[in-house]
């Protein structure tokens, strides 16, 4: 009988980093109302930072901000904004400065995705994903850069690994995230002399998130994926990477892309039957939620 594979443990960042490493710092996070970005925000707050979370749904943001404040003992405030609209980001930055007087860390995490083949993808749908992910990242950088410069701060851009290889039904997000990666690299070289660092976290499949629920094939429709780390990713895995990249331990790390995927990308194949799925998309519609 073959031995069972080793499964890497989930680690609390507090077991590695001191609780006060971000004391007095302020985090500005787009997409912070849920999922991966909420998890990163909570982790940074647990190490002493206050935070502003941005999104389009004020009711969800308000509830999340309350929960994060209660969980961490720090201050988190909501700011309604659409990253496609620069003025709303500028207003959120103004609110942040009025409340806290500074912005040290920025997470550019607002994103949109769905499954669709190019043949069934409208120009408007393609444009919308680029506007949220790529243009939204650019708008966030523009709105915050003066304050991040003043604080000698740092950016983390949330990307993906989909564009490292061709991924069926993901042309829109692959193009968008490739643009995010490129923007981060330019920020690193342009703003490095001003004391600003910029890096990318590229999560692989992360369980119990809205994105994973939306993009995963239905249960029983595909072979379980293989992870060299022994398990699917957890939000805490991404959060720990964010704590490290914002910390002084990463002071010499900038312009880099950090996949957080347990080695999944090295073994990833198509998530849908290939080439059947691209030759006849309707034949796999029942496997996908939402449907094609």
SS3 for 86-118, per residue?
HHHHHHHHHHHHHHHCCCCEEEECCCCCCCCCH
pLDDT given for residue 270 in this prediction: 77
pLDDT given for residue 218 in this prediction: 52
Q: Where are the domains of the chain?
A: 17-287
pLDDT given for residue 276 in this prediction: 86
CB–CB of 177/163 below 8 Å? Answer: yes
Whole-angstrom distance, CA of residue 109 vs CA of residue 207: 17
pLDDT given for residue 90 in this prediction: 98
Q: Which residues of the chain fall short of a pLDDT of 50?
A: 219-222, 291-292
pLDDT given for residue 217 in this prediction: 53
Tell me the chain's radius of gyration from C-alpha atoms: 19
pLDDT given for residue 286 in this prediction: 73
Tell me the torsion sign for CA atoms 129, 41, 141, 189.
negative
Residue numbers annotated as active site? 159, 177
Q: What is the pTM of this model?
A: 0.92
| pLDDT tens readout for residues 47-101 | 999 999 999 999 999 999 999 999 999 999 999 999 999 999 999 999 999 999 9
When the candidates are 3.40.50.720, 2.60.40.10, 3.40.50.300, 1.10.10.10, the CATH number that belongs to 17-287 is 3.40.50.720
Question: How many beta carbons lie within 10 A of that of residue 13, not counting itself?
Answer: 20
pLDDT given for residue 281 in this prediction: 85
pLDDT given for residue 291 in this prediction: 40
């Amino acid at each position: 009988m073959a031995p069972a594979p080793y499964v890497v443990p989930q680690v609390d960042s507090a077991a590695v980093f001191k609780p006060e490493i971000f004391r007095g710092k302020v985090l500005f996070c787009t997409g912070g109302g849920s999922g991966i970005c909420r998890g990163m925000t909570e982790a940074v707050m647990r190490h002493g930072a206050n935070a502003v979370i941005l999104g389009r749904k004020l009711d969800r943001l308000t509830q999340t901000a309350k929960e994060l404040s209660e969980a961490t003992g720090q201050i988190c405030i909501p700011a309604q904004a659409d990253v496609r609209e620069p003025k709303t980001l500028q207003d959120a930055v103004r609110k942040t400065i009025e409340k806290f007087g500074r912005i040290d860390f920025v997470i550019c995490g607002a994103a949109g995705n769905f499954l669709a083949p190019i043949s069934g993808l409208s120009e408007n749908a393609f444009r919308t994903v680029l506007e949220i992910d790529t243009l939204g990242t650019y708008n966030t950088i523009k709105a915050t850069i003066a304050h991040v410069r003043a604080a000698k701060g740092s950016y983390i851009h949330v990307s993906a690994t989909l564009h490292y290889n061709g991924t069926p039904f993901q042309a829109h997000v692959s193009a968008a995230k490739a643009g995010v990666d490129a923007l981060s690299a330019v920020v690193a070289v342009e703003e490095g002399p001003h004391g600003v660092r910029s890096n990318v976290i590229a999560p692989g499949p992360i369980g119990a998130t809205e994105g994973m629920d939306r993009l995963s094939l239905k249960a029983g429709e595909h072979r379980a994926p293989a992870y060299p780390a022994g398990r699917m990713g957890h939000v805490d895995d991404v959060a720990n990477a964010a704590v490290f990249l914002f910390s002084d331990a990463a002071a010499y790390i900038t312009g880099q892309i950090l996949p957080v995927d347990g080695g999944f990308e090295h073994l990833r194949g198509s998530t849908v039957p290939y080439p059947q799925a691209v030759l006849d998309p309707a034949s796999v519609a029942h496997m996908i939620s939402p449907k094609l």
